[in-house]
Structure 1
């Protein structure tokens, strides 16, 4: 069994001009060497150009697995270095898309994080990757990675081990909720949240409402 670890810690290299409403994007994340402080809002010296759609405590960090990156390397036939997906953490030996919502990890000696929600691809991501129909392809593949909430601050660096501290019993993964959410999944998440097993971010209530509107009758 492979040891779960951080392969790279990535933060914004430079703001790039972008056609979107903000005019710039901070999606250009690249690996940094040495220890990096982790705050409640993410990595020290990292930024989000659009706080309306990115960032905040519930999306403080974005993690993407090397296994999912390898899938895209094969599909696109190009190198996809850490940070290319806009991720803060490129990890190995642990699921990101397959992580259970509310799962908690310890990274390194002191940082603790909680799996919160899937990444939704956007037009900025499409421009970043410069691949035809990228948003559609990324969404359909369902290998979206996960946002993380910081429960305990500290420092992290490439090579740090990742340990699962807690896995909720509801069983709904990031990938399942992104690709094929069901009423049963919604009810399981609601119950887990009500019981204090997990803490759902407010956006889930909007997703629940959309799912209920699709129900017959």
Structure 2
């Protein structure tokens, strides 16, 4: 399992984002050499965990439990074949492009060591948005990405900061004792919300946006059952 590339982006004005500032840094490009990664601060305040990487919409991106985003090269290759176009590392706005790591079947709370020191923890999966669709320029992209078997990729928090670089080995160093994977949580949050209450077994590791969604749905389900 290997880190193929580390990708960062700079903010620029575009006409396809719904970010309040009218700017996005979704256009991530591979960088050479080591990049510092560390916890960036709380959700809604902190930006990216990677040095030199901008975050423009703090409502849905950045912060301690969304410090980085990883996507598997194998899934990018599937999209290349489906879309009939080349997709370079970073094309999905991911900070970390991996090879040989089962990103979407990672458990919420699973920890990865990258290189000699950095440890990251899986917190959820990416929910596609208008900015992502506009950047890719593919018709019906939000629905296609949401329902694809390729998977959403993983959001990550930083447990042990340090430097990462292309070519670093990746090792899974911890797996929690539950069955909530990135793919399952993504399905629950998008196309099958009846699954959301069951994902709360992973609540202590879940990123804040998905956790709020799961709790709200669980409350509604409890109220419905109580009134039945």
Structure 2 length normalisation: TM-score? 0.85
1:102–1:114: 8 Å Cα contact kept in structure 2? yes
2:70–2:97: 8 Å Cα contact kept in structure 1? yes
2:11–2:23: 8 Å Cα contact kept in structure 1? no
2:15–2:22: 8 Å Cα contact kept in structure 1? yes
Shift of 1:136: 0.6
1:6–1:161: 8 Å Cα contact kept in structure 2? yes
- CA distance in structure 1 between the aligned counterparts of 2:201 and 2:173, rounded to whole angstroms: 21
Shift of 1:112: 0.4
- CA distance in structure 1 between the aligned counterparts of 2:219 and 2:3, rounded to whole angstroms: 38
1:17–1:23: 8 Å Cα contact kept in structure 2? yes
SS in 2 for 1:101: coil
1:18–1:124: 8 Å Cα contact kept in structure 2? no
SS in 2 for 1:86: coil
Partner of 2:26: 27
Alignment of 1:6-155 (within 5 A): 6-13=3-10, 15-19=12-16, 20=18, 21-41=20-40, 42-142=49-149, 143-155=151-163
Structure 1 length normalisation: TM-score? 0.89
**C-alpha spacing 1:17/1:67, structure 2 compared with 1 (3 Å):** same
2:11–2:56: 8 Å Cα contact kept in structure 1? no
SS in 2 for 1:117: strand
Query: Per-residue CA shift, 1:29-73, capped at 9, x if unaligned?
Result: 000000111121211111101111110010000000011111101
- CA distance in structure 2 between the aligned counterparts of 1:69 and 1:184, rounded to whole angstroms: 27
Shift of 1:119: 0.3
**C-alpha spacing 1:35/1:141, structure 2 compared with 1 (3 Å):** same
Partner of 1:209: 216
Shift of 1:13: 4.4
Partner of 2:197: 186
- CA distance in structure 2 between the aligned counterparts of 1:184 and 1:85, rounded to whole angstroms: 27
SS in 2 for 1:43: coil
Q: Which residues of structure 2 form unaligned runs of 5+?
A: 41-48
- CA distance in structure 2 between the aligned counterparts of 1:208 and 1:174, rounded to whole angstroms: 17
- CA distance in structure 1 between the aligned counterparts of 2:129 and 2:194, rounded to whole angstroms: 26
1:172–1:185: 8 Å Cα contact kept in structure 2? no
- CA distance in structure 2 between the aligned counterparts of 1:51 and 1:177, rounded to whole angstroms: 21
Q: CA RMSD in A?
A: 2.0
